[in-house]
Amino acid sequence: MKAYKHTVQYYETDKMGITHHSNYVRWMEEARIDFLKQLGWDYARLEKEGIISPTVEVSCKYKRSTTFSDDVFIIVKIREFKGVKLILDYSMKNAEGAVVAECESVHCFISKEGKPIRLAKEFPEFNKAITDNIED
């Protein structure tokens, strides 16, 4: 998969000129949407199929600061998927390749009515796209 690139915007920085920590979570979401698109399942397609994938947990370890106009490259990898819960890892690196943050998000899959979806049974094509991209 191709890394997602985000350029730090001025409004994302704080009074010290450093990117505010809350923005990294937003970047994770941007990268996750891009990752799904690369899998062939952009979020518009998921919603059209009746699949909603809420975030149920997020964590982030900050390693280095970023500042206005820095490019941040976000590599998304599937750590675990057992049909119901999807765990994604995010490695965020600056233009020099130094890790700026290591993050994780956990997602489930539900219908528009809020009922859990078992992808293998109800959406086997999407299930395969995920399982084919699990990295060891």
Instruction: Tell me which residues are annotated as active site.
Output: 14
Identify whether the C-beta of residue 33 lies closer than 8 Å to the C-beta of residue 4. no
With CA atoms as reference, report the closest residue to 85 among 104, 62, 113, 102.
Answer: 104
Question: How far is Cα 17 from Cα 12, in angstroms, rounded to an integer?
Answer: 9
Q: Of all helices (H) and strands (E), which one includes residue 115?
A: none
